[in-house]
Structure 1
Amino acid sequence: MKNSILSITITLALTYMSTAQAERLKIATFNVSMEALNYQSPQNRETATVSSNALQVALESNHQQIKNIAEIIQRVNPDIILLNEFDNQHNNEDNSHQALKTFSKHYLNKSQNGQKAIDFPYYYQGQVNTGVNSGYDLDGNGTPGVLPGDGFGYGHFSGHFGMVLISKYPIDVKNIRTFQYFKWRDMPNALQPIDPTTSKPWFSPQAWQDLRLSSKSHWDVPVEVNGQIIHILASHPTPPVFDGPEDRNGKRNHDEIRFWADYISADKSAYIYDDKGDKGGLKPLAPFVILGDLNASSVDGNAMNAGISSLLAHVDIQDAMPNSEGAEKHTQDNINAKHHTAFWRMRADYVLPSKMGLTIKDAGVYWPTEDEDTYRLIKDRAASSDHRMVWLDLLLNNK
């Protein structure tokens, strides 16, 4: 009898441990700089010579920067990760995802510098607005329809600076919502840029009617983890710079970030429509994680910090404020330095889970210090990226 009770106790304990382990989830975001300009010399970066195939060529050359990116991913070992600045060379026109498949097979699936190979059997690589020609003079240089400045998102070709979500857990593809075509003008109180020299709107009336909010896209990707759905809310807003006193990029960055704050707010999301025409935001009580290089900080940089500040302060969001010793040492005269996620000294990349359904267990920024061997992986942009991977270790609460 005692042996039977002991056996049952051990079985229950092992079952509990297994369940607890299965519920533990590491989610990350990483701007990997795997975009065409990173693989071409500065003198070959004119529009006509920036090739949409540059990433694929680099992948086929056993490129050290890409090997380092893969090694970082293997070392951190996330379950779900958003990769920003990963070129979608045909922007899904042929649905081949060639570069992504090459990266997975020849880099992630192979040990890098002794690390355990890693596999992400599920992915979503949707279309983006970067390099999609608007036909308008969006950059104000007097010539309409010329890339990269006149794309719906800045890019030298359709799919430039794209993004991809890769996952160890199944993606509910049928219920993905995308907002690539959502018009900026349809956001209530949108921050329409004004030319201060004329006091008139920066964009022509026709351009403003057609201009999309997302510089890349906004995605709501449901991922199924042990029978429960987590909504990955992925984006990569435009940098709030490279413009003029009209601050068109700063205002767009603000509103791209605001989109998520509205999307998760039942009282503010009624205006939102997705690319299928379905209206409204995220369903109440649905667990979510906002991921991406948001190109904004509430305390550093040139962004209109009201946008990111409002998101971080949202009643339904947790902010673990990940940090690293490497970042702190990189900028020793900045009190915010330990939270920086970019080489250029700012917190730009975020993993923001909902309070509903998720508990933060640990958080970090992959930023080795100069005295560590792994510093070779991040010593400069050529080594990997000018951004660092940000990750959170989460516990998925049972229903």
Structure 2
Amino acid sequence: MNMVKGAEGEATAKTGGAGHPLDIGTDERRMHVRAYNYWVSLLGGRAYPSIEDLDPTNIADFGANSVLLDFSHGVEDPAVAYLGRSLREECGVEASIRQISEVPARSLLSRLTDHYLQIIANRAPIGFEAEFVGQKGQNTLYRGILMPFSSDDDTIDFIYGVINWKVTVDDEMQARLAAEVEAARRELPRIEVAVAPAWADGPSAVFAEPPVDEAPVAPDFLDADAGLADLLDNARACADDVGQADKRTRAALYRALDRAYAFAEAAAGDPEGYAELLDDAGLKPQARAPMTPIVKLVFGVGQDKTRLTEYAAVLTHARRQGIAVEGFAAFLSGAEGGIKGIVAAERAVRRPATRPDGFAAAADMLRAKAPIASLPIAAGDEEFVLLVARAGLNGMLEVVARVEGEAALTEKAIRSAGG
């Protein structure tokens, strides 16, 4: 098995040996498996299938996801003899591509053609899979296979490739989309719905449990007069959702932070009730980091300290920006860089200001100062010159040398004299 590293992903290439045993999985539904089986069906006892038996335009199954490379005129820049419609659309190609050198960089087709020389070296099919960030900035998972064809049953002068792919949404984007939906939901008028009992074996059984492919979601509080303890319980329930859900439901984290922020604002209006909750949990208020006890109450003191610090930074930055409780979800969804971006912005605000460099002020002071004496010594091109003098007779100073090539020493002297 050979490993082929790409620019953004790590592709695993699986090659077949002399008898063409290629480990590409057993799921017959996979396109690259069907393509490999098709290639085997064309062998007919030969080393390689004949190129005359291949007609990609008539392969309804995977022809649109395929490309045919022609090496009959050399391997340096093979010709593109056929390019399927789906691959053409994915690459944004309108005009015909005649050579591999014309394949757009960072396109899916470029990931497929990157492996063609392995076919020549191994003289066998190669399967591969990886992920990369494409031309449109989308994360793309792909899986494909390259298969050799011959015009004389001996020379590999054609390669037929088939590739399948899907575009994925990363965790941060998924969370931001979910936060936008949550913000839009908040703007809708609330509708009171009468809820009938749901019996496990009755006509309402379909409502008895959440769908298995969704993470459990803590209920909203419809009562605007909910107490501080109730708000904390709701925030904790959302935090529990974060721990139970997989990464595709990371939106649960945004939801939990939203409830934690609502609790923080309510706690600010009820300091006595907040103090009791802190005391019950064995926590103390922190003047320099007031949101840290909040996230500990909501997410638990056993939560990873780095995570707690980041959550506290998010809440602190929202309060610093004057974000209202009802606008917190929109604040999260609209933040550049998501949670990481908010944390970075808050840390930048806290970062102490850089101390001013005193060299410029010291140099300006020395420029304005009246000279003590003038000596007939060539100054050269330098503005300031460092001289070494010794005590002479009658209280006079005798200059004995000029220090050259010591910029750092000269700068230190300027800082000292002008400080």
Bin of the TM-score, shorter chain as denominator length: under 0.3
Structure 2 length-normalised TM: 0.24
Q: Kindly indicate whether structure 1 or structure 2 has the higher relative contact order, using CA contacts under 8 Å at least 6 residues apart.
A: 1
Q: Higher helix fraction: Structure 1 or Structure 2?
A: 2
Structure 1 length-normalised TM: 0.25
Larger Rg: 2
